[in-house]
Amino acid sequence: MKRRDFFKTSLVASAAVLGTNLAAGQTTQPRDDRQVSAMAFPEKRPLITYSDRPPLLESPRSTFTKGITPNDEFFVRWHLPDIPTHIDPDAYTIKIDGLVKNELTLSLKELKTQFEQVEVTAVLQCGGNSRSAFHPVAGGIQWGSGAMGCAKWKGVRLSDVLNRAGLSKDAKFIGFNGKDNAAYYETPNFVRELEVEELNDHVILAYEMNGEDLPYLNGYPLRLVIPGYYSDSWVKMLSNITVTNKYKSLFFMDVAYRIPDNETESESPDKHFKPTKPITFMNVKSIIGYPENNMKIYHNSHIVIRGVAFDDGHGISKVLVSTDEGKTWNEAILKQGNGRYAFTEFRYAYKPTEYGKVKLMAKAVNRLGDEQPLAKDVGWNHGGYKFNGIDVVTVEVV
């Protein structure tokens, strides 16, 4: 199947769309009881499916035992349902306009042959990842912990493209728009802006993911990659980049994807804080990929607890594991090497000596000393963003 004809094939998926009344049985851990779909989207193996229009797919916990997330296991998050049914890579172009000295219209071939090719390994994570852990329920898709993944992204530096266009001296903001559209004409497009000062050499326009063309559902043929930032800024299927000298008011920057500009207090459903700020940099987080919740393990057996940890690019210094509900913590062995924006793999040898249910816990600490809090201590916000409570997996020793 050619990507240009992606939606000409049957988009078969089990649309396990969730209701909104999820308060019953809500805990301070992300829900981990959803099953993968019986069927799969093209280029994807069966994943946890929330919607098929727009596609909303979550990776299962078992994905997170490895540092690089395979393309067919990588989560999917679209905001607008009208995704192009036909993209011809030979005809595809991206336009750079606005406050530039030379407007550009670049093809994929020109991006691949006229600029230095670079690669960055980075975590892509939805700002609402683990939202189902918030109680009371916060608005939005009730993700478990699988709305994230880590890939090797290849493309060209955004700064190199902008340098060719030539930024005007009063350029301050860079706007990005993709090819997806709303079904209802009054729904705003998913447009994001960056300040020129936020640019660095790690921000790229990517056309490859883990050595292959971007999967269609992950933004083919070109997407923005901003390592360390939440995925709401990583615009997919880029169509144009517009440079301005004034901030443009945008729904997905001024209303959605914002948290209180006050991290010392929590919001409540009846009390929303103002002012707010956008979610940008990711906080420190870890997740256990093995064993999984409700798994049975044998008494006196030897198992290896495995998982991944990450932050916004400062780097993970250690991951601590507890097998006695947080009374004691021991350092896990780390595997690093894919760069500061990537998953850090961890493993910890464990021999269960008591029968019954056991809670396995993991918390990451980054090089700044930032540490994952207990889940109950994560501040509530009405958007359900940035949950990073200590991960807990309950197993049964038999």
φ/ψ (deg, to 5) at 248: -100, 125
Tell me the pLDDT band of 374, cut-offs 50, 70 and 90: very high
Per-residue pLDDT averaged across 294-314, rounded?
97
pLDDT at residue 309 in the model = 98
379: pLDDT strictly greater than 50: yes
Is residue 294 within 8 A of residue 394, CB to CB? The reply is yes
- Nearest one of 11, 209, 50 to 124, comparing CA atoms: 209
Compute the C-alpha angle 153/309/217, nearest 5°: 35
Which pLDDT score is estimated for 28?
Answer: 76
19-33 pLDDT, tens per residue?
A: 333 333 344 789 888
Position 106 scores a pLDDT of: 98
- Judge contact between 138 and 26, C-beta under 8 A: no
**What digits encode the pLDDT tens for the residues 325-346?**
999 999 999 999 999 999 999 9
d(CA 157, CA 118): 7
| Residues 122 and 151: beta-carbon distance below 8 Å | yes
pLDDT value, residue 276: 82
Residue 282's nearest CA partner among 248, 316, 324, 238 is 316
**Three-point CA angle 91, 93, 96, nearest 5°:** 165
Q: State the Cα–Cα distance between residues 188 and 250, nearest whole angstrom.
A: 8
Average pLDDT over residues 337-364: 97
Distances (CA, A) of 227 to 77, 151, 259: 17, 11, 20
Domains of the chain and CATH, by start: 1-281 (3.90.420.10), 285-397 (2.60.40.650)
The pLDDT assigned to 21 comes to: 33
pLDDT recorded at residue 186: 61
Q: Would you state the pLDDT for residue 181?
A: 74
What pLDDT is stored for residue 5 in this prediction? Answer: 56
pLDDT at 14 over 80: no
Helix, strand or coil for residue 3? Answer: helix
124-182 pLDDT, tens digit each: 999 999 999 999 999 899 999 999 999 999 999 999 999 999 999 999 999 999 888 77
Torsion of CA 220, 225, 231, 235, to 10 degrees: -50
Number of Cβ atoms within 10 Å of the Cβ of 90: 8
| Tens-digit pLDDT profile for residues 308-318 | 999 999 999 99
pLDDT digits (tens, 9 = 90+) for 199-253: 999 999 999 999 999 999 999 999 999 999 999 889 999 999 999 998 876 655 6
Characterize the bridge pairing of strands 173-178 and 191-195.
antiparallel
pLDDT value, residue 3 = 54
294: left (phi over 0), alpha (psi -120 to 50) or beta: left
Radius of gyration of the chain (CA): 21
Model confidence over 38-82: pLDDT tens digits? 889 999 999 999 998 899 999 999 999 999 999 999 999 998 778
Q: Say whether pLDDT at 11 is over 50.
A: no
pLDDT greater than 60 at residue 95: yes
Reply yes or no on whether the pLDDT at 4 is more than 60: no
